[in-house]
Structure 1
Amino acid sequence: MRGVIITALLTLIFLFWLAGGLYGFLKTKNKSPEAKRTVAYILGYPLLAVYVASDGLPPAAIVFPVGLGGVFWLLAGMHLQKVLEGEYPPTPGTFIGLSIKYCLGGVLGAFLLGALLQYAGLF
């Protein structure tokens, strides 16, 4: 029962986070390409996470990068707010306000860590 309550609570937190970002996006008339990319990530990441987890627990090499995407997803909400308020000018080479190299390096590192833990039998 305790796990169900925690899962429901986390689901509500994520839904409110998502609703707040979408409300701010829809309320703004002039939407920059950066705002559109950020909203696409905010909408697309939960769909990816549900798809990955829908068929049982996947290998650690898949779970770790998807989990890291959750951190980026939380940061995307704050980034979207800054973009919509006009406080963040579009910068080439960034995705949701983070360097693309940083994102790719983090995902690659998470994949390798997951593969190593899977190989060692620790996951």
Structure 2
Amino acid sequence: MIIPQNAKQIEVIGSTVPFFEDEDTYYFDSSLTAPPEPMVNAMVGLQLLDDKHKLVMINHKSPMGLFPKIKESFDYEVVELPNDTVKVVFIKKTNTSVNLSNVDTSCSGSGCMH
């Protein structure tokens, strides 16, 4: 499992999967969910980030529709995992404010995370 054993489960309003936190990272696994759940969970997770924390998303594929929507406020790295999933690590860019309220989380066209 990608989520460390010492990570504690936390309540995240609006999420559809469990979230976990350790010293400097939030984690969630949306690899078993269907669209639009991965996008919804990514968006609520990104709102948790500050200059000290990063967010790790485990998903069945890269959320390509999400990246253009958040690129101004977040850096991200995609790592292919051996079990046909991906790990996406999101880091808030320093000195940026985060306003995700205008990001469309619906699943339509190329914005879907199938």
**Shorter-chain TM band:** 0.3 to 0.5
Higher helix share: 1
**Which of structures 1 and 2 has the bigger CA Rg?**
1
Q: Which has the higher contact order (CA 8 A, sep 6+)?
A: 1
**TM-score, normalized by length of structure 1?**
0.31
**TM-score, normalized by length of structure 2?**
0.33
Higher strand share: 2
